[in-house]
Chains A and B, each alone.
Chain A
Amino acid sequence: GAVVSQHPSWVICKSGTSVKIECRSLDFQATTMFWYRQFPKQSLMLMATSNEGSKATYEQGVEKDKFLINHASLTLSTLTVTSAHPEDSSFYICSARRTGAYEQYFGPGTRLTVT
């Protein structure tokens, strides 16, 4: 149990376009999901905390108008990178915390390349 999926696993888009990444908890309900960003050879940096039915909480320095997060159900959160630029190219990883539990379970990540 506790499987988290992400879609797509990789995406290439042109500068100026928007890209949506989905994060799903497949076999459990997740009130809270988290979105991370990871640059090559670096650690994970938390971007935002996504709570079902409410607005996401963004970390300092993360533009909320650029990285739109929606958590419309207990099993799905989406991250939309708006007006993507090459500097947004990165590995985006989500995690989900089972309702009432402590541990986070991570998705396999989405590699975004903006050309």
Chain B
Amino acid sequence: TQLLEQSPQFLSIQEGENLTVYCNSSSVFSSLQWYRQEPGEGPVLLVTVVTGGEVKKLKRLTFQFGDARKDSSLHITAAQPGDTGLYLCAVTTGTASKLTFGTGTRLQVML
């Protein structure tokens, strides 16, 4: 079983539409990160959420950490083709601060 399950796995939408990606777990985390990865590149950190219920905004992206710190969501408003990519949530586990990634959500935004 995966520590972090993301949904949906794949999303194809038109430019201008809104969307929400979910990252769920049965475990509690001290913090959670969201990354975006474009084809052929490494992931890029978008945000880190730390406090239960925390909401962070990054332009058209809104990130929320669940009250119980078990889940998180990423909402994109008025999606643009440049938002296309693989969105990954991740948490730090273990004494070595290893990152464990979620299953990923592949977003395609079409003109």
Q: Which residues 74-107 in B have Cβ within 8 Å of A in the complex?
A: 86, 88, 92, 96-104, 106
A49-B88 contact in complex given A41-B106, A93-B42, A106-B42, C-beta closer than 8 Å? no
Closest to A9 in B: B40
A102 and B97 form a contact (CB under 8 A):
yes
A49–B92 alpha-carbon span in the complex (Å): 13
Q: Tell me the residues in window 75-115 of chain A with beta carbons closer than 8 Å to chain B beta carbons.
A: 91, 93, 95, 97, 102-109, 111
Q: Is the CB of A103 within 8 A of B45?
A: yes
How many A-B pairs have beta carbons closer than 8 Å: the answer is: 46
A contact residues, total (Cβ < 8 Å): 24
Task: Give the residues in chain B near A46, CB-CB below 8 Å.
Answer: 98-100
The verdict on A17 contacting chain B, using a C-beta distance below 8 Å, is: no
User: Shortest CB–CB separation between residue B101 and chain A, in angstroms?
Assistant: 5
Contact of A43 among B42, B45, B92, B103 (CB under 8 A): B103
Chain A CB within 8 A of B43 CB:
yes
Interface class of chain A by DSSP: strand
| Shortest Cβ gap from A69 to chain B (Å) | 14
Q: Which of B40, B86, B88, B103 touches A111 (beta carbons < 8 Å)? A: B40
Please, which residues of chain A bring their CB within 8 A of the CB of B96? 32, 49, 57
> Which residues of B are interface residues toward A (Cβ below 8 A)?
40-45, 48, 86, 88, 92, 96-104, 106
